[in-house]
Amino acid sequence: MLPVQWATSLKFIPSSTDKLWVDDLTREFLLESQEGLDRMERGLTELESRPADAELLAEIFRSVHTIKGTTGFLGFPRLEALAHAGENLLGLLRDGRVTADANIVSGLLALLDRLRGILRTIEATGVEGEPKHDDGAMIGRLESLQGAPAAGSSAGRKPATPAGAETGAVASIGSRVRRPAKKRARREEAPMCVAPLRDPPVAEEAGPQGNERAVARVAEERETSSSHADSASSPRPEAVAAAVSSASPVAGTADCTLRVATELLNRMMNLVGELVLTRNQILQANSADAAFAPLGRRLDTVTADLREAVMKARMQPVNHVFARFPRLVRDLARSLGKPVRLELEGQETELDKSLLEAIRDPLTHAIRNAVDHGIESAEIRAAAGKPPEGLVRLRARHESSHVIVEVQDDGAGMNIERIRAKAIDRGLVEAARAAQMSEREILQLVFLAGFSTADAVTSISGRGVGMDVVRTNVEKIGGKVEIDSDAGHGTTLRLRIPLTLAIIPALIVHSREQNFAIPQAALVELVHLDADQVSVGIDWLGNAALYRLRGRLLPLLFLDRLLQQPPREQGACDIAILNADGRRFGLVVDGVADPQEIVVKPLAAVLRDIGVYAGASILGNGEMALILHPGAIAQSAGIGLTEETQEAGPDEANPAARDDFLLVETSSRRAALPLETVVRIERVPPSRIERAGARAVLRFEQELLPLNGVMDESGAAETPTTVVICREGTRQVGFLVNRVLDVAPGSSLREAGTSALSAGVALLRDQVTEIISPGCAPLPATCEDCPGLAAELQA
C-alpha cells in the first residue's frame, strides 16, 4: 500500500472547444444546414449533365428551402435573404420555366459557397457577421438568372434583359446595399449572366463591349480560383482552408459529431446490458464456482461484440469525402478549359471516421494532380486518338483489412525519363544511382519532398508540394501510397488505408526477453533457423548479413544489434521477412510468439523520435510491447526498393485480378479461403471444441474463437480436427475443415457470383471453387449443385 494517494482535480481547466456563444439549437441548425448544402452541392454538379431531372431539382430545392425556413426562425437575415433568392430561382427551375445551364449552376454554386461561409462565421462567432462581399450582388445575380431564357434557342432574342432585370433586382433589395452593389454587379456579375461561356452569340449581342466574353472568363476563373487556390487574400478563405490545409485547430461542428444508425445503437445498448449482467454474476460468483469459467467466456464474447459494434459505429461511407469531388473536378476542368468527367465507384465502402478525415486532403491533392497534370488538353487527346473528354476515376474497395482508394486518370501517364532527369536536376538522387533504378523506383521518386513534374507551374497544383504531402499524410495514418503509370494511357495512384487506426494485427516477437510487435501488414513470411543452421544459413559479405531465400539474397538486420541490446549466445532464431513499402529485408529475432490484434497506443515524442518505434501496445498479459516501424528501420539501414514483380510468376501479370487462396477440403467438397485472411492453421482435438449456444467455439490463446463449418459428428472423436483461423475485420474466426490441400493462385470471379458480397467462387487450378468469406458461414450449396452458375463462369 502506498503511504499517500491523491488525484488532483482537473475540472477547472476550461475546454478550448467550448463555444458558449453557440447554443444547442444553433448547433443543430448548423449541422443540418451543412448536410443540406452538401446534398445541394452534389445535386448541382449532377444537374449539369441532367438539367431536366425533376427529382434532382426537387431535392436541391428542398435543401435551400429548409435553410431558409430555419434561418428566419433563428434570426439570420443575411442567410434568409440569400436562401430566398436561391429558392426563387430553384422554384423556376423545378417548375420547368427555366432550364439549368452552366451559368445557372455556377450562380447557384457561388450562392452555396456564400451560404457555407456565413455558416462558418456563425459557428465561429455566433453571428452572421458583416457581408464581406455584397449579398445584394449575389442576389442580383441569382435574380438575373431567373430572367435567363428558358431554352437555348430563344437566347438570342432578348439580349438586353439580363442586365436590366439585374439592376431592378438590386434596387429592390433596399437602400443598405444599393450603391456599391449596383456598381459591383455591373462590373463583376453582369458579364456572367449575359455572356455564357458556351453561348457565343448571346455574348456578342448582349455585351456593350466586344471583349465582354473575355471578362466573363476572367470573372469565372477568379471565382473558381478564389474558392480553390490557397491565396491568403481570397474573399472566401473558409472554402480554401477546408480544401488545402487542415490548419484550423478547432474541429468544426460537422467534424465532431457522428450520425449513428439507431439499430446499431440499440445493439450496443443490448450488449452493454449483457455486459452489466455478466459483471453482476461474476461479482456474485467466486472463483471456485463451477459457473465461473462459462461466465468468463461469455464476458469475452460480449466484450468482443461490443468492441466490434463500437468500431462499426465509427465507420462512415467514403462518400462523405467523395461527395465534394464532383464539384472540385468541375471547377478545375472549367478553369483549365479541359473537359473532364469524374466517375465514382464504391462510395458505400466504409472507413473509420478519423481516417476518412485524414484522407480528405491527400485525395484532394491527388485529384487536382490528375486533372491538372494527368489529363491532357482536348487537342492533344484528339491527336492521340482518345476521346476529348478526360476521365478521372475514383474508386474505393475493401481488400482484407484495408480499404484501397484509387485515383485513376486516362491521361498521358508519367514520363519516366523526365522524372529521372528532374530528380537528378533537383538533387534528389545521384545521377549514377538514378541510372540503375528500376522504373518502379523512379516512379516512387515523385513522393519525395520538392518534386514536381509540371513543366509550367500552374495556379492549381505543381508547386512541388503535391505528392510528398499525399505520402506523408497517408503514412501518418499507417497507410501506403503506390503509383502506377502506363505511358500514354494514364496514371493510377493507389492509397492503401487501414480500416481502423486503433487496432492492428501484429506479430509479437522476442528479443532478449523483451516483446516487440511487427505489424502484419509488413510481414511477408517467417523463417525459423535452428541453432545449428544459423552459421550455415546466414551468409556474410563483410559486415552485411544475407540470407538465401529461394535462391535470392535477402539483406538481414539483427534486431538485438539494431537496438543495442546485450549480445547473447548463438542459438535458434527466427527471420521475419518484411516488406516495408517495397523494401524487402529479413529481421532476425530471438523468437516468435503469437500473432495478436493489438491496440495501438501513441508514444511520447521523445521515444517516437528514436525512429524505430511506431507506437506501443499493452498485451493481454499486461506486459507492454513496442511496435516496430519496419519502414523506418529499412530506411535507416539503407535497404533499397525491390522490384515487386521479381518474385511473381509469369501468370501474375495482373495482380489485381489474382489472389492466393488456401485450398481446403470441408465435409465433402473443395473450398478456398483467401490466403490474406488466414492467420494460422491449427490442429485441435475435438474435445477442445465447445458449444456456446448454437455456435461451436474454441478456446484459443485466452480468446474465444467462434467456429464455422459443420463438425463431423460421425468421425472418430479422438482424431484431431483442423481449424483454419481467419481474420474477419478486427476479430478472428475459425473454420473447421477436414484437411488443408494446397495454396494456389486463382482468378477472382466474385463479381459474377450470385451473392456478390458474402461469398463467391474462383477459378483455382482451372476448377471453379467456392470461396469461403470469413465474414459468413460457407454456402450450403456447392458449385456442383448449381451447374448453371459453374457453366456460366467457365464460359
Cβ distance to other proteins smaller for residue 401 or 511: 511
- DSSP class of residue 502? S
For other proteins, the closer CB: 505 or 615: 615
Nearer to other proteins, 378 or 603 (CB): 603
Smallest distance from the beta carbon of 669 to other proteins, in angstroms? 46
Cα distances from 549 to residues 179, 586, 631, 648, in angstroms, run 80, 10, 20, 14
Q: Which is nearer to other proteins, 530 or 623 (CB)?
A: 623
Exposure of 434 in the CB half-sphere (CA atoms within 13 A): 20
The H helix count followed by the E strand count for the chain is 26, 29
Closest approach of other proteins to the CB of residue 569, in Å: 19
CA angle at residue 328 from 324 to 333, to 5 degrees?
150
Q: Please state the three-class secondary structure of 170-236 as a single string.
A: HHHHCHHHHHHHHHHHHHHHHHHHHCCCCCHHHHHHHCCCCCHHHHHHHHHHHHHHHHHCCCCCCCC
Q: What is the identity of the amino acid at 244?
A: V
Residue 561: CB minimum distance to other proteins, A: 11
Q: Which is nearer to other proteins, 562 or 592 (CB)?
A: 562
Taking the C-alpha atoms of residue 211 and residue 219, their distance in angstroms, rounded to an integer, is 13
Nearer CB in complex with other proteins: 219/563: 563
Cβ 566 to other proteins shortest distance, Å: 10
Q: Provide the minimum distance between the beta carbon of 216 and other proteins in the complex, in angstroms, as a whole number.
A: 53
In angstroms, how far is the first alpha carbon of the chain from the final one? 75
By C-alpha distance, which of 752, 757, 745 is closest to 783?
752
| Shortest distance, position 15 Cβ to other proteins, whole Å | 12
**What is the spatial distance between Cα 673 and Cα 759, in angstroms, rounded to a whole number?**
10
The three-state secondary structure class of 325 is: helix
Q: How far apart are CA 578 and CA 153, in angstroms?
A: 66
Least distance between other proteins and beta carbon 523 (Å): 21
Which C-beta is closer to other proteins: that of 132 or that of 561? 561
Residue 610 or 648: the one with the smaller Cβ distance to other proteins is: 610
Beta-sheet pairing, 503-511 with 591-599: antiparallel
Which residues make Cβ contacts (< 8 Å) with residue 321, sequence separation at least 6?
Answer: 356, 359, 360, 363
Helix-helix angle 353-369:325-336, to 10 degrees: 20
Q: Which of 297/608 has CB closer to other proteins?
A: 608
Q: Which C-beta is closer to other proteins: that of 367 or that of 557?
A: 557
CB of 272 to other proteins, least distance (A): 18
Q: How far is the CB of 302 from other proteins (least distance, A)?
A: 19
Q: E strands along 450-511, which residues?
A: 480-486, 490-498, 503-511
Closest contact distance (angstroms) between CB of 311 and other proteins is 16
- Residues near other proteins (CB under 8 A) are 1-8, 10, 12-13, 514, 563-565, 601-607, 609-610, 612-613, 615-618, 622-624, 626
- Enumerate long-range contacts of 155-158, CB under 8 Å, 24 or more apart: 155/199, 155/201, 155/202, 156/201, 156/202, 156/205
